[in-house]
Copies of this chain bind each other. A is one copy, B any other.
Amino acid sequence: MLRMPRKDRRVLVDSSTLDDAGVFAHGRGEALVQTVDFFTPIVDEPYDFGQVAAANAVSDVYAMGGVPLTALALLCAPETGLPPEAIAAILQGGLDKMREAGVSVVGGHSVRDRELKFGYSVTGLAKRRSLLLNSGVRAGDRLYLTKPIGTGILATALKQGKLDETHARRLVRHLTALNRQASEVAVEFGARAATDITGFGLLGHASQMAEASAVTLQLSPTNDWLLPRVREHAAALVVPGGLARNREFYSPGILAEGVDEALLTALHDPQTSGGLFIAVPPRKAKAFEAALLRKRVWYVPAGEAVAPGEHRVVLGGPARGIR
């Protein structure tokens, strides 16, 4: 157990609440939103990997309702066995994606390592009053998911040679898509809370949000929530190692009666660069959905928050029918 120093009053969010990023008050009504993420390659092409690492790293800032500004690159690379062109392609992919996000890469650090890893530390700005925290959900809020689920499963299928070219390309497109527009719409239309779906899977992050907000989340998942081919691979147990750990850890807090087994498996899939999971007050839901449509952001209405019950997350049935 670490002895934590007394918290600076300017620290609005630290790692203790499982939020997506740290938040530090700075300037009038503003705050710095900061996050770091780096990992081993999950796609074949170095350029694509750089793009995925960048999209994934800035996503934590978007998930807090912030605008990313600067990044520092983190590179662990082997001395031999990886051509310099591959390293350059990774950095270029990252730079290009960061430019798309309006982020300046102001520095970085590289170390020798037997295993390639790449990622970024990212700093953004947010208005303090429009921060999207895990703890902001209120009973009655509508829930939305802004990217389909299944990147962990498809990346596993890719590694096992079980994903065709078309679906592999689609996976890359999905992994490199920014959550920027979804975040902007969420902030503009008064969303109350958000998180991005990453390593703990949809149900893990939903459970954390329910816990932090002291509500129960009623979700009505369908196969439309999944990327193409995810259901088949989930049924065949072509899944990443982290999936079973997620399921074991979060299942006790989840009521999942009557939910199709392959779909339930996929909802525990650890995501890289996943979509946002957003809670919107009911009176703002219509305008929020219209804005997502206008900006052509993929989304599904995922359910709603209710008063806290026995479970953190309850799956099944259309949420509106439950009220």
The chain A residues found within 8 Å of chain B, CB to CB, are 1-5, 7-8, 10-11, 13-15, 21-24, 26-27, 32, 34-40, 69-70, 72, 74, 76, 88, 91-92, 95-96, 98-99, 102, 104-109, 111, 113-115, 117, 119, 121, 123, 125
Contact yes or no, B95 A34, CB < 8 A: no
- Given A69-B24, A72-B34: A10 and B104 within 8 A (CB)? yes
Complexed CA–CA distance, A114 and B40 (Å): 13
Complexed CA–CA distance, A8 and B101 (Å): 12
8 nearest CB pairs, A to B? A22-B106, A121-B121, A22-B107, A5-B99, A36-B72, A8-B104, A36-B109, A15-B107
Q: Which residue of B lies closest to A14 (CB)?
A: B106
- Given A96-B5, A104-B8: A113 and B111 within 8 A (CB)? no
Q: Which residue of B lies closest to A9 (CB)?
A: B104
- How many monomers of this protein are in the complex? 2
Complexed CA–CA distance, A83 and B308 (Å): 39
- Given A74-B74, A115-B114, A121-B121: A35 and B107 within 8 A (CB)? yes
Complexed CA–CA distance, A2 and B7 (Å): 41
Complexed CA–CA distance, A88 and B15 (Å): 16
Closest CB-CB distance, A22 to chain B, in whole Å?
A: 3
Closest CB-CB distance, A27 to chain B, in whole Å?
A: 6
Closest CB-CB distance, A18 to chain B, in whole Å?
A: 10
Closest CB-CB distance, A157 to chain B, in whole Å?
A: 22
Q: Which of B21, B38, B74, B117 contacts A107 (CB 8 A)?
A: B21
Contacts of A36 in B (CB 8 A): 72, 74, 107-109, 121
- Given A34-B70, A70-B32, A121-B72: A11 and B111 within 8 A (CB)? no
Contacts of A23 in B (CB 8 A): 106
Contacts of A1 in B (CB 8 A): 88
Contacts of A21 in B (CB 8 A): 106-107
- A-B contacts besides A15-B107, A34-B107, 6 pairs, CB < 8 Å: A7-B104, A14-B105, A21-B107, A23-B106, A32-B69, A111-B117
Complexed CA–CA distance, A3 and B96 (Å): 9
- Given A24-B106, A106-B34, A109-B38: A95 and B14 within 8 A (CB)? no
Complexed CA–CA distance, A21 and B121 (Å): 13
Complexed CA–CA distance, A69 and B1 (Å): 24
Contacts of A34 in B (CB 8 A): 70, 72, 106-107, 121, 123
Contacts of A106 in B (CB 8 A): 11, 13-15, 21-24, 34
Contacts of A96 in B (CB 8 A): 5
- Given A21-B107, A24-B104, A24-B106: A32 and B123 within 8 A (CB)? yes
Complexed CA–CA distance, A3 and B98 (Å): 13
Closest CB-CB distance, A194 to chain B, in whole Å?
A: 17
Q: Which residue of B lies closest to A30 (CB)?
A: B27
Closest CB-CB distance, A39 to chain B, in whole Å?
A: 6
